[in-house]
Structure 1
Amino acid sequence: MPSEVALLESRTMRAEHLGRVDALDKVKALVMLPDGTHVRTEDTARYFEVSTDVIRQLTARHRAELAESGMHVLRGPDLRRFHSDMVSLWGAGKGESYPQAVTQLTLYPRRAVLNIAMLLRDSDIARCVRTYLLDAEEGWREGYASLDRRVTDVESCLGRVGVALQELGPVLNRMSYRLDSLDRRLDATNQVVAAISNRLCEMSDRIDRVDAKVDHVAQQVGELRRGRKRR
């Protein structure tokens, strides 16, 4: 697990955590401007419970990095346009006048505030944010390790199933051969039964013919006897 010092010293490591802006509100509510997107230098200082000078000095030392995180400075027409937008939102939401900067205004989105949390050494709030980030990362690592172990177990089970199927292969082949043999014997038996059935039918026909002849002979014999009696 990376240490807090590594997070403070490594810009690359800080960049890897910039997407976790949820860490800010997990530690303390970050009050945004009415646009819901930015905070000012004094708002940032209030969040970290330090002076505005501390934030200004840190911003000056790490301006390029913070600019990549979204920090930007408004001047001239951009500043007047921003003030115009904020005045209506601020008044409608708070019932008070919006404090306007005279010449310039530095704005920080949540990513830049989180970036400051990973740079600011002398703030308990910043330390809590860093701790939350590192603890969450450790939790993810443990979760991934657990998932990896489960995947390994599944692969192992599938491997054993494959071996079992290979061992069953010859047995299944022998069973298939025996079933084929039984099928052939059953076909032969059916043929014999069919032949016997045909013979029985033929014998039945012969018996019927014999019975008819016997009946005919019996009739003739009866007629002869009746003729003799009449004489």
Structure 2
Amino acid sequence: MERSFQYAFCLPPGGGRALTLGLGLGETYPSSFLAGVAAMRFRGATATDLILVAGLISQAHRDVALAFGLTAENCPRHPSFCTPAWVERGMACGETYFILERDSVAVGCVACRLAETGVAALNRLSVLESERRRGHGGLLVAHCLDHAKAAGARSVRIGVIERHVALRDWYRQRGFEEGPIERFPHLPFAVQSMFHRLGATVVIGEKGGPAQEPPFVVRRP
């Protein structure tokens, strides 16, 4: 069943106070970070969004493909080569895609797949390059965690390029812990597994500003 989530960011007079979003994980943003943001909305992707979602994913991951020398020949399954058929197959296999819109324009997306083992998967986190450093990636991650937690998952797993140190650090700041490093015959790089235990609360600190991703503090229950 499709769900739509509206997050209206109304700043208090004078600003300076952190505002709480409507997320079950208890995220907060400083008002300075939200200055100028009119409205953000999550919506579940449907079959009519296949081209839109594939475009978001492929565009968002092109810089990673260039940085690590990934091509359609040596890594044909990299997200930078995503097609509508990929998204359609993922949906058919149980992946739920969420699209993040700012002022009714799609700026990013993320996929969440639930499993009977209680470990959900966060896949294809994507934010358009022109929309980065505005906190959109953090919102997408938090939304996926919130969705998985509401569905009864105990933890959420991701896999990142092991050599992509900056991305690993970014996820660690959002409460993910590193697991084993895995190798797959169809990939030209090692994969770092990371897990987020859903008992944690993620809080975005006051140091964040419009020009950078705000720091996250993880509080264990």
Normalising by the smaller structure, the TM-score range is under 0.3
TM-score under structure 2 normalisation? 0.20
Greater relative contact order structure (CA < 8 Å, 6+ sep): 1
- State the TM-score, normalizing by the size of structure 1: 0.20
Which structure has the bigger radius of gyration? Answer: 1
Q: Which has the higher helix share?
A: 1
Determine which structure has the larger strand proportion and give its number.
2
